A and B are shown apart, each in its own frame.
Chain A
Amino acid sequence: MHSSSIVYGGTIGSSLSTKQDMTGAKRKLVIDATLCCGCLSCMINCSQFQEHESSLFSARIRVTLEPFDGVHRLVWCRQCDEAECALNCPQQAIKYESVKGYYYVDYGLCVECRTCVQVCPYGAMMINETQNCVIKCDLCAASEPMCVRSCFTGALWYGTEDDHPDRMLSRYFFRERGDTR
C-alpha cells in the first residue's frame, strides 16, 4: 500500500471563484480550439444549467463542428474590459458584476432590441429562439462554469491565458488520485 506518485495536479479551477487569480490577473473563459474534441458537452451542459433543458440552441457558448477538416470553431464571450454589448445597450441592461468579473443581462431592463447581438465583435451575444430572448455567458455567475467543468481536453479553461494545464494530457487525469492500491 502506497500513496500514488502520479502527478494529477489537483482540482482545476474550482477552488478559485473570484475575479482574480492569485497573480492578480482577471479570470475568464479561456479557449484553445485546437484542443476541442467536438463532444459538445460544453453546449449541452450550459443549456441544461442555464435554461434547464438539453439543447444546442440555448447554449451561451457555440461550437461549430468541422468533422472533415480539422479544428472546430468556437464562439464565446470574452467578458471584455471594454464590452461593446454593455457600452451600446440603449437600456443599460447589460451589467457588470464587479466582484466576480462578468457581464450579465438584466432582463427587467432588456427590451430585446438586439443591439448587443449586432455590436459584439465575437458573435457571443446569443439568442434563445424558444424563449425569444438574448442570452449571454455569465461564467455561471463565476462558480466554475459548467462548460469548463464538462470539458475533458482542456480546450476550455477558467483562468488566465498563462495558467493552462498540460495541453497534451486529458484533463480528467489531472485529478488527485489520492488513494492507495
Chain B
Amino acid sequence: MKTAKRATPHESSDALLAPIREELRACIQCGTCTASCRNAHLMDFTPRRLWRLVLTGNTEEVFHSRTFALCSACYYCTLRCPRGLPLTEAMHALKRAAAHADIAEYRPSARFYGSFLDSVRRHGRVNEMEFMRRYFILMKNPAIPIKFTPLGIKLLRKGKISVFPDKSKPEHPLDQIFRRVEELEKTK
C-alpha cells in the first residue's frame, strides 16, 4: 500500500523469507511443481530450485529471481504437490516480500498491482482507465502505453471503457478498511 514503510536492506533479507521457509519445510525436492508449471521454461530458477534456495536461505538470489513474478496463479503445483504445500500462496508471499523490499526487478509488477489497488481504495470498484493511466505514469516508459493502444482503441469503440469516469456510477470508497488493515499488519 502506498503508505507502507519501505524495508531497509537488512530487514528485507532474512526476516521477510522466514515465514515462507516455515511453510515449505516439508519440501522433498521432487520437482512435481516444476513439471506442472506452464512458465517454468521462462524462469531463471525453476520452482523446485527456488524453493530450495528459500529453504537454504539464499535470500539475494531468491529476491532477484524473476521466477515468482512469472507465476500466473494457475494452482497446478498446489494441486499436485505430494506434500500438500501451499506453493502458489508461497509465490504470492514472495511477491509481497519483493514489493515491500522494493526490489528493482519486481518494480513493474508492484506498480501494476499498486495502481490497481489505489483505484479500488478510492472508488471501491476498479476504474480500469484510471488504473492503467496511473500505471503508465509510474512506469515512465512510453513504449508500455503504445503496446496497449490497439486493445485500448477496441475497448473504447465497444464502449467497454471510457476516457472520462462515469459520474453516475455509485462510489464505495474503501479507505477505512485499507487503513485498518495497515494498522493491523503493523501490530502483528
Are A and B bound to each other?
no
